[in-house]
C-alpha cells in the first residue's frame, strides 16, 4: 500500500498541483447544473470576469476543460500556420516540452538559450532575444515563446524585458507566454506587459484541482487567429469567445471546477487581504523564508540569479554524489511530505519545494522540518539548521498583509 500515514494531513509541497483549500472544495461540492440553463450563464459570466482580473486583462480569456498542455497547444494552433518559424527560449524542462510540442505540430522551432545547464539556473536573457530578432530582417519569426515561471528550476523571468526586447528590435512577432505555474502566485500583467497569449492552468496559484486551463488573449492574437492555418477545432477561440459573451461554452464546460474557480477568484481578489498585490507579497516572503533555510543548510539554490528566484518554488541542489530522489522518497515515506522531483537535465540532482497557492508560515515550517530531517537521515552534511533560520525569518518579518484564510 502507498498509504504509509493513516492520520493527519498529507503535506503536498510539490510545485503543483497545490493543496486545495476547504473553501474551494466546499464550493466544488455543489450539485452539477444544466450547462445551458439560466443559472449557468450567471456562473459563466462571473468566472470570466474574475479570471480577467487575475490575468490583469480587459480582453477575452478562453477556458478549456484540459490540463495546461492543452492550453499550450491552443496558443500555438490558434495563432500559427504549418512551417511557421517560432523562437523559443530554454529555461528548463517545461520550455523544452513546449518546444517539442511546437515541433510536433509542424512548426519550425528555434531554441535559444545558454549552453548545458547554465540556462537552467537563470531566467530568459532578453538581450539574446533582441539580438536574434534584430538579425531576422525578413521577419520570418512569427512568435516568441517563453515560460514566465519555469517550474522545473524555480526561475521567474522578466516578461516585460522580453516585450521590450521585441519592441527594441522593431519586430512584429507575437509574444506567447506560459504562466501555468506563475499566475496568481507571482506578479503577472497580461495587458501592461504586452503579451499576446498567456497560457495558464488551474492546479497551481489558482488553488484548484487539475482540469481546466486558460488562454488570455490580445487583440493582435485574435486577429492572427483569423488567418492562422494550423488545424484547430476544439481549441479554436472564435466560437468560445462568441458564446462566452452570454456566459456559455460551445461544449460541456467543467461545471464543478468553475464553481471552484469562482471561489478562488473571490479569495485571491479579496481586498481585505490586499487583493492580488497581497498575494504576490505573501509568496515573495514565503520564498525568502524558504531560501533562508536552504542557505543555512549550506546547500545551493538551483537558480543562481537572485532577481529571478521564484516566489512559487525553490529548487534545492544536492551535494555531488547525493541522489535527490532517494531523499525525496525517504521524506515521503517517513514524514508524509511530497516534494517535487528534479526533471530533465537536473533529474536526481535537486528537489523542489513548492510555496505556491494555499500556504502559510507553518505549512512551510513543516515542509522545511521534513526536508531537514530527511537530509540528516540521508547523511547529507548540513552547515546549520535551515529550520532555525526560517523560523527566525518568519518571526522577524511579519506578513505585509493578513494571511489568506
Q: Is 40 in the site for ligand PLP (CB under 6 A)?
A: no
H runs (alpha helix) in 85-215: 93-104, 126-134, 159-168
Q: Please give the Cα distance from 264 to 299 (Å, whole number).
A: 35
Q: Of 66-74, 228-236, 283-291, 296-304, which segment contacts ligand PLP by CB under 6 A?
A: 66-74
Q: Is 201 in the site for ligand PLP (CB under 6 A)?
A: yes
Give the number of other CB atoms < 10 A from CB of residue 256.
17
Q: Of 63-71, 125-133, 272-280, 304-312, which segment contacts ligand PLP by CB under 6 A?
A: 63-71
Q: Is 99 in the site for ligand PLP (CB under 6 A)?
A: no
State CA 11 to chain mean position distance.
19
Instruction: Pick the closer one to ligand PLP by CB: 53 or 69.
Output: 69
Q: Is 94 in the site for ligand PLP (CB under 6 A)?
A: yes
- Could you give the angle at the alpha carbon of 310 between the alpha carbons of 304 and 312, nearest 5°? 145
Q: Please give the Cα distance from 11 to 19 (Å, whole number).
A: 8
| Among 91, 125, 181, 185, interactor with ligand PLP by CB under 6 A | 181
| Among 68, 278, 357, 370, interactor with ligand PLP by CB under 6 A | 68
Characterize the bridge pairing of strands 141-147 and 174-178: parallel
Q: Is 96 in the site for ligand PLP (CB under 6 A)?
A: no
| Among 166, 180, 197, 316, interactor with ligand PLP by CB under 6 A | 180
H runs (alpha helix) in 169-274: 219-225, 237-244, 255-269
Q: Is 154 in the site for ligand PLP (CB under 6 A)?
A: no
Q: Is 341 in the site for ligand PLP (CB under 6 A)?
A: no
Which residue's C-beta sits nearest to ligand PLP? 68
Number of residues that bind ligand PLP (CB under 6 A): 12
| Among 56, 67, 256, 363, interactor with ligand PLP by CB under 6 A | 67
Q: Please give the Cα distance from 89 to 351 (Å, whole number).
A: 23
Asked if 404 and 264 count as a contact pair (C-beta separation under 8 A), the reply is no
Instruction: Pick the closer one to ligand PLP by CB: 68 or 253.
Output: 68
| Among 178, 196, 361, 372, interactor with ligand PLP by CB under 6 A | 178
Q: Residue 224 burial (CB < 10 Å; 0-12/13-18/19+)?
A: buried
Q: Please give the Cα distance from 170 to 130 (Å, whole number).
A: 9
Instruction: Pick the closer one to ligand PLP by CB: 73 or 361.
Output: 73
Q: Please give the Cα distance from 183 to 261 (Å, whole number).
A: 13
Q: Of 50-58, 109-117, 174-182, 372-380, which segment contacts ligand PLP by CB under 6 A?
A: 174-182
Asked if 251 and 234 count as a contact pair (C-beta separation under 8 A), the reply is yes
- Could you give the angle at the alpha carbon of 233 between the alpha carbons of 78 and 49, nearest 5°? 65
Q: Is 69 in the site for ligand PLP (CB under 6 A)?
A: yes
Site for ligand PLP in 10-39 (CB under 6 A): 16
Instruction: Pick the closer one to ligand PLP by CB: 171 or 283.
Output: 283
Binding-site ranges for ligand PLP (CB under 6 A): 16, 67-69, 94, 147, 151, 178, 180-181, 201, 210
Amino acid at each position: 500500500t502507498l498509504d504509509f500515514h493513516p492520520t493527519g494531513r498529507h503535506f503536498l509541497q510539490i510545485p503543483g498541483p497545490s493543496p486545495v483549500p476547504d473553501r474551494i472544495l466546499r464550493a466544488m461540492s455543489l450539485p452539477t447544473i444544466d450547462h445551458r440553463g439560466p443559472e449557468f450563464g450567471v456562473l459563466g459570466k462571473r468566472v470570466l470576469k474574475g479570471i480577467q482580473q487575475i490575468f490583469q486583462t480587459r480582453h477575452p480569456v478562453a477556458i478549456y476543460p484540459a490540463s495546461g498542455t492543452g492550453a499550450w497547444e491552443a496558443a500555438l494552433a490558434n495563432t500559427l500556420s504549418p512551417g511557421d518559424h517560432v523562437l523559443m527560449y530554454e529555461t528548463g524542462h517545461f520550455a523544452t516540452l513546449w518546444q517539442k510540442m511546437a515541433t510536433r505540430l509542424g512548426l519550425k522551432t528555434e531554441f535559444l538559450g545558454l549552453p548545458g545547464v547554465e540556462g537552467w539556473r537563470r531566467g530568459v536573457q532578453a538581450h539574446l532575444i533582441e539580438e536574434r530578432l534584430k538579425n531576422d530582417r525578413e521577419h520570418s519569426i512569427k512568435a516568441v515563446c517563453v515560460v514566465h515561471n519555469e517550474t522545473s528550476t524555480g526561475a521567474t523571468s522578466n516578461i516585460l524585458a522580453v516585450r521590450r526586447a521585441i519592441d527594441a528590435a522593431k519586430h512584429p512577432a507575437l509574444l506567447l507566454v506560459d504562466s501555468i505555474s506563475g499566475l496568481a502566485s507571482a506578479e503577472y500583467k497580461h495587458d501592461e506587459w504586452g503579451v499576446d497569449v498567456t497560457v495558464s492552468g488551474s492546479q497551481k496559484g489558482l488553488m484548484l484541482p487539475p482540469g481546466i486551463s486558460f488562454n488570455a488573449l490580445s487583440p493582435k492574437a485574435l486577429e492572427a487567429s483569423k488567418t492562422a492555418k494550423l488545424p484547430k477545432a476544439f481549441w479554436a477561440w472564435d466560437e468560445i469567445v462568441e458564446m462566452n459573451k452570454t456566459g456559455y461554452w460551445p461544449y460541456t464546460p467543467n461545471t464543478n471546477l468553475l464553481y471552484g474557480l469562482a471561489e478562488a477568484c473571490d479569495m485571491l481578489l479579496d481586498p481585505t487581504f490586499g487583493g492580488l498585490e497581497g498575494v504576490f507579497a505573501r509568496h515573495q516572503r514565503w520564498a525568502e523564508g524558504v531560501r533562508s533555510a536552504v542557505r543555512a543548510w549550506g546547500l545551493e539554490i538551483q537558480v543562481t540569479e537572485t532577481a529571478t528566484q521564484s516566489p512559487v518554488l525553490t529548487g534545492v541542489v544536492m551535494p555531488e554524489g547525493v541522489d535527490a530522489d532517494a531523499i525525496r522518497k525517504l521524506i515521503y515515506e517517513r514524514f508524509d511530505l511530497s516534494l517535487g522531483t528534479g526533471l530533465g537535465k537536473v533529474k536526481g540532482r535537486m528537489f523542489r519545494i513548492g510555496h505556491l497557492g494555499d500556504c502559510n508560515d507553518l505549512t512551510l515550517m513543516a515542509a522545511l522540518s521534513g526536508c531537514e530531517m530527511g537530509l540528516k537521515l540521508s547523511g547529507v552534511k548540513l552547515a546549520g539548521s535551515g529550520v532555525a533560520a526560517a523560523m527566525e525569518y518568519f518571526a522577524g518579518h511579519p506578513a505585509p498583509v493578513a494571511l489568506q484564510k
